[in-house]
Amino acid sequence: MIIDLLSWACLVGGGIVGIIGGIGMLRFPDFFTRQHASGVTDTLGAFLILLGLALQAGLTLATFKLALIFLFLFFTSPTASHALASAAVHDGVMPLLDDSPEDAQ
């Protein structure tokens, strides 16, 4: 019963983090902030969802496969985000900067 509750909490939490990342993609003003919203939330959301699935599966081969999927995502997602940001900078895309007078001290 407790494992089921923890599993569902992880699954729902991962879904909520994914939705928050999607909202960030829609609301943020430029490429770099949108990429930050998606890059951070997809790793956390995937971890929570895979953890919830692993708790449901128990100690089986499926849990091992879910752990391998997480390791793959853990290394490839930040690498892909870095490659996209580097390509954007190389192409001349610059981040929006707040040039308000209060910050010019």
Lowest mean pLDDT among 39-43, 71-75, 89-93, 97-101: 97-101
Can you give the pLDDT at residue 97? 78
| CA 81 to centroid of chain Cα atoms | 10
Give the total residue count for the chain. 105
Can you give the pLDDT at residue 11? 96
The model's pTM is 0.80
The residue extents of the domains of the chain are: 2-88
**36-84 pLDDT tens trace:** 888 889 899 999 999 999 999 989 999 999 999 999 999 999 899 999 9
Query: Which residue do the tokens 């969802």 mark?
Result: 49
**Nearest alpha carbon to residue 25 among 34, 13, 16:** 34
